[in-house]
A and B are shown apart, each in its own frame.
Chain A
Amino acid sequence: MKKIELFEPAMCCSTGVCGPSVNQDLLTITSAFEAMQGVTNVEANRYNLSNNPDVFSGRPEILSAIKDDADSVLPITVVDDEIVKTGTYPTIDELSEYTGLVFVPAEQKNSCCGGSGCC
């Protein structure tokens, strides 16, 4: 069982569409974490400061990491209780590395093959 956790800055919604700009990284992360919800041997969770301050406060390693500068340290990626990345979101390749999962490229909605994988 792999456990991957993402500690994110305060935000309004998980996709970031409610901020002043749309962040492509966040869309990718939302998609990847959503995909991991269906995987049995991986536990993937996201916590953000405004919605889940309780989780932050119960994790000494996170508290100490954000002590001096939360803005530049968040988001923090934690794999099996160990901080593996800070400051930016993990890429898809890194997520594969952490979890052993392979993320297949997204299928285009309304493309020739639809969602069936016929191509």
Chain B
Amino acid sequence: MQTYQPQSTKLTHYLFFTGKGGVGKTTTASATAINLADSGKRVMLASTDPASNLQDVFDTELTNKPKDIANVPGLFVANFDPVTAAAEYRESVIGPYRGILPETAINNMAEQLSGSCTVEIASFNEFANFLTDSEVDQKFDYIIFDTAPTGHALRMLQLPSAWNNYLDENDRGASCLGQLAGMDDKKAMYEKAVVTLNDPELTTLMLVTRPQKASLLEADRAAQELAAIGIKNQQLIINGTLKDPTDLPSQTIFRQQQNDLAQMPASLKELAQFEVPLRPYNVTGLDKLRLVLQSEQPKLTPQPSIKNDYPNLDVIVNDLVKSNKKIIFTMGKGGVGKTTVAVQIAKKLVAQHKTVHLATTDPADHLNLFKTDDPDITVSHIDEQQVLKDYQDEVLASAQKTMKSDDVDYIAEDLRSPCTQEIAVFRAFANIVAQDDSDVVVIDTAPTGHTLLLLDSTQSYAQEVQRTSGEVPQAIIDLLPRLQDPSQTEIVMVTLPETTPVYESMRLNDDLDRAQMAHTWWLVNQSMLATNTTNPCLQARAQNEVEWIEKVKELSNNHFAVEQWQPDFEKVLLTI
């Protein structure tokens, strides 16, 4: 397979790096951007992931405005943070009326404009605006987007056509976008966004994957769903292929990678494919980002092995049982193994005579990779299409009781707004937390960024519930108090013994503290240290882990555990 080299790859003006969490979207996007800038191009790199790590990569504070990077002439970087976008949008609506409308009215507006719908609209508008901005277009040779993990990146890329179609069919009343009448500017913008995304001469989807089954399947899903809405120019980057296996652990990894690649979905095989070999170092800092795509790599020297006697997941589960927790979340960066840890926790709870409901809030639904026939475990996921349909049906049924069919159509129109999806997902989340058929509910969440947005909307809805006159389901009333009750709830933070996942967990830790959500335990997952490998590349990676495991030990105040890296973990860990 050809090694990925931006100079010798056909690249378009707009590049979208997308894929499952943890596959290296940010690394490959950043390395591409630096490589192109170093060759004299003008490059814009923007993250649309609410939990962006670009500020760590470039070791500088970033905002939603392009910032030039001191040591990379020609490179500009921005983080499109939905919460900032929402705050700016809110201010643009409210600002002109400060001092004109009474403060109580301003507060009423501010509160309504803090919902998840506004957050989505604002960040989406920011994205669509940037994508269609002719000044940005002319200023840069390449505009590179580092997207959120698949589930949410798909939604962002599908929204221009969704809103465009909605505005085609509806032109009266109010919506989250504002009054529908007079939306011509917005409609023109969405249309242009759709045209840009669908033009193969302008836009390429860079599907990043690990040489590993779950991320290949997810890349395939993204490829197909985006091709279906017209984004057809796609390339595949396989990140982290192991070369030169020398001992048992490295041979196991090598075989697993080669098997999974051989069984790659047929439609992915048709795409142009490139690989980035596994490097013995964490790709952080400009030096490493410049190095990672070079064909010449530094020589490795063998290291003495280090003993690993850290506590494992059993320590955490025993504490969860002892303190009789009812609601357990696994949270963390994409690709850290939240799903496998959630499954492991569920299995270990069942072994201690608990019945467990295992659910995921991640639209990418990695739980579907495993099946169980254990009667003590029930499994569900939030099927976005299904919960939307359920919500629409419920509202329409209620409307049909009192309204005539013309007016029911009017409700149906509001229900087709892409906003409604957010509400439906949120209600489904509340129902999962409220379940009481099992002793414990274990919830595998979406990657950090979108999980935080879900928790944010939990807080803003809690406020809205206070003043609503409609009937609020009990599950929604109880949601926030439950999540804030440490006697019922525990959020296990899952991370990897590497720079970026630990930094992201530290930010998650602060966010959870601010939201007063109950959390104690940290789990360091997929540790290479415990395998006692002698393969020079893997050994070098294992050595790098110690610093980060010790860091977690300190941050968690000794409430931590380390799980060792497992070959073929989907088969081993996800089967019950």
Contact = CB atoms under 8 A, between A and B. Distances in A.
Interface of A: 9-28, 30-31, 34-35, 48-53, 56-57, 63, 66-71, 74, 88, 106-110, 115
A12 B421 CA distance: 13
A21 B410 CA distance: 18
B472 interface: yes
A12 B115 contact: yes
Contacts of B404: 31, 106-107, 109, 115
B117 interface: yes
B107 interface: yes
Residue among B118, B178, B402, B461 with max Cβ neighbours from chain A (10 Å): B402
Interface string B81-94: 00000000000011
B436 to A, nearest CB: 21
Nearest to B111: A10
Contact of A14 (B174, B403, B420, B476): B174
Contacts of B546: none
A108 B464 contact: no
A35 B407 CA distance: 8
Contact of A22 (B100, B176, B470): B470
Contacts of A12: 112, 115, 117-118, 174-176, 419
B112 A53 contact: no
Interface in B464-478: 464-465, 467-473, 476
Contact of B410 (A20, A23, A31, A115): A31
Contacts of B178: 51
B405 A66 contact: no
Those 5 A-B pairs whose CB atoms lie nearest each other, nearest first: A23-B470, A10-B112, A21-B470, A70-B104, A31-B407
Interface stretch (B189-197, B335-343, B393-401, B558-566): B393-401
A48 to B, nearest CB: 6
Nearest to B115: A12
Contact of A109 (B101, B408, B415, B472): B408
Nearest to A26: B470
A10 B113 contact: yes
Contact of A20 (B403, B411, B420, B468): B468
Contacts of B402: 24, 27-28, 31, 106
21 contacts: A13-B419, A14-B414, A16-B470, A18-B115, A18-B176, A18-B423, A19-B468, A20-B465, A21-B471, A23-B470, A23-B471, A24-B470, A26-B470, A27-B411, A31-B407, A34-B407, A35-B407, A48-B174, A50-B93, A53-B93, A106-B404
Dominant secondary structure at the B interface: helix
A109 B12 CA distance: 52
Contacts of B174: 11-14, 48, 51
A109 B470 contact: no
B175 A13 contact: yes
Nearest to A56: B101
B97 interface: yes
Contacts of A18: 115, 117, 176, 414, 417, 419-420, 422-423
B179 interface: yes
Given A15-B410, A22-B471, A49 B105 contact: yes
B423 A20 contact: yes
B417 A31 contact: no
Interface string B157-177: 000000000000000011110
B399 to A, nearest CB: 5
Contacts of A66: 101-102, 104-105
Given A27-B411, A34-B410, A88-B469, A14 B173 contact: yes
Given A27-B402, A63-B102, 12 more contacts: A13-B174, A13-B176, A18-B417, A21-B468, A22-B398, A26-B470, A27-B398, A50-B93, A53-B93, A74-B108, A107-B404, A115-B404
Contacts of A35: 407
A15 B104 contact: no
A57 B97 contact: yes
B178 to A, nearest CB: 6
Contacts of A52: 179
A18 B400 CA distance: 18
Contacts of B278: none
B109 interface: yes
Contacts of B176: 12-13, 18
A16 B411 CA distance: 9
A16 B417 CA distance: 12
B476 A21 contact: yes
Contacts of A70: 102, 104-105, 107-108
Interface string B135-176: 000000000000000000000000000000000000001111
Contacts of B109: 10, 49-50, 53
A109 B400 contact: yes
Contact of B464 (A20, A50, A56): A20
Nearest to A89: B469
A49 B403 contact: no
B287 interface: no
A46 to B, nearest CB: 8
Residue among A12, A14, A109 with max Cβ neighbours from chain B (10 Å): A12
B476 A20 contact: yes
Nearest to B104: A70
B417 to A, nearest CB: 7
B244 interface: no
B460 to A, nearest CB: 9
A21 to B, nearest CB: 4
B471 A106 contact: no
A11 B105 CA distance: 12
Contacts of A48: 174
Nearest to B392: A17
B406 interface: yes
Contacts of B415: 17
Contact of A17 (B100, B405, B414): B414
A13 to B, nearest CB: 5
Contacts of A107: 404-405
